[in-house]
C-alpha cells in the first residue's frame, strides 16, 4: 500500500466514523425529543389541563402505549386518528386564557376552533366525542365574541346528545354573561329535565338563583 492509498483509507474510515457518530446523535435526539413530548403531555394531564385520553392519540410517538392506542382506535373508529387535533385545540384554549395581549389570545382561540373543526369534519354524526368537540368549539367562539356562532355550536351539541349537560352549562353561562338570567335559568331547568341528578346543573341553577335574588 502506498502513501496515497493509506491516506485515502484513513479518510474513508474517518468519514464512516463521522457518519456513525452523527447517526447516533440523531437517534439520541429523536429519543430525547419523544421523551420530552411524553413528559410534557403527562404533566398537562396530571394538572388536569388535558384529558387522559390525549396520551393515546397521535400526539405521542407511535411506539408509546401502542396497545392502548389500538384499543381506542377500535372503539371509536377512523375518526380517532384525528383526535390529536382535539388535544391541540384544548391546549390552545388553555394557553389563550393566560396569553398576554389581545392578538395572541385571539390567534390561539382561532387556532383552537380550527383544531376542533378538523376533528368534526372527519367524524360522523354519531361520533361519541361530537358533543364534547362542539361545546369546546363554541367556547372558543364565545371567547372570540362570536356569540351567534357559539350558540349554534352549543345547539348542535344538543342535537347530537339531548342530555349533554356541558352544552346546557355553556349556554346558560353565555346568557348569564349577557345579563339574561331568566333565559339562563330556563336553559338550566331544561338541562335538569334530562339530567335530574346532575350536581353541576343544580349548583349552577342555585348560584344563578341566588345572584338573582332567589327568584
Q: Is residue 23 part of a domain?
A: yes
pLDDT at 142: 98
Residue 163: other Cβ atoms inside 10 A: 13
pLDDT at 35: 77
Cβ 186 vs Cβ 175: under 8 Å: no
Q: Is residue 5 part of a domain?
A: yes
Q: Is residue 133 part of a domain?
A: no
Q: How many structural domains compose the chain?
A: 1
- Residue numbers of the chain with a pLDDT score lower than 50: 3, 7, 25-31
Residue-by-residue DSSP string for 24-78:
HHHHHHHHHHHHHHHHHHHHHHHTTSS-GGGGGSTTS-TTTTHHHHHHHHHHH-G
Q: Is residue 204 part of a domain?
A: no
Q: Is residue 178 part of a domain?
A: no
- Which range marks the domain in which residue 33 is found? 1-48
Q: Is residue 39 part of a domain?
A: yes
pLDDT at 117: 98
pLDDT at 30: 44
Rounded distance, CA 57 to CA 70, Å? 10
Rounded distance, CA 63 to CA 117, Å? 27
Q: Is residue 144 part of a domain?
A: no
Long-range pairs of 34-42 with CB within 8 A, sequence gap ≥ 24: 34/61, 34/63, 34/64, 37/61, 38/64, 41/87
pLDDT at 10: 56
Q: Is residue 114 part of a domain?
A: no
pLDDT at 22: 53
pTM recorded for the entire structure: 0.82
**For the chain, where are the E strands, in sequence order?**
none
Amino acid at each position: 500500500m502506498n502513501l496515497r492509498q493509506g491516506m485515502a483509507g484513513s479518510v474513508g474510515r474517518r468519514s464512516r466514523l463521522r457518519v456513525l457518530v452523527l447517526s447516533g446523535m440523531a437517534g439520541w435526539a429523536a429519543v430525547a425529543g419523544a421523551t420530552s413530548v411524553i413528559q410534557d403531555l403527562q404533566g398537562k394531564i396530571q394538572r388536569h389541563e388535558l384529558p387522559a385520553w390525549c396520551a393515546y392519540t397521535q400526539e405521542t410517538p407511535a411506539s408509546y402505549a401502542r396497545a392502548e392506542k389500538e384499543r381506542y382506535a377500535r372503539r371509536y373508529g377512523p375518526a380517532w386518528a384525528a383526535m390529536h387535533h382535539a388535544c391541540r385545540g384544548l391546549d390552545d384554549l388553555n394557553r389563550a386564557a393566560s396569553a398576554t395581549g389581545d392578538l395572541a389570545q385571539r390567534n390561539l382561540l382561532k387556532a383552537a376552533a380550527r383544531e376542533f373543526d378538523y376533528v368534526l369534519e372527519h367524524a360522523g354524526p354519531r361520533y361519541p366525542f361530537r358533543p364534547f368537540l362542539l361545546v369546546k368549539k363554541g367556547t372558543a367562539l364565545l371567547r372570540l365574541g362570536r356569540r351567534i356562532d357559539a350558540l349554534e355550536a352549543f345547539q348542535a351539541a344538543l342535537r347530537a346528545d339531548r342530555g349533554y349537560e356541558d352544552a346546557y352549562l355553556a349556554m346558560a353561562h353565555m346568557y348569564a354573561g349577557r345579563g339574561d338570567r331568566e333565559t339562563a335559568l330556563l336553559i338550566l331547568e331544561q338541562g335538569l329535565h334530562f339530567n335530574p341528578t346532575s350536581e353541576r346543573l343544580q349548583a349552577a341553577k342555585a348560584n344563578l338563583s341566588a345572584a338573582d335574588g332567589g327568584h
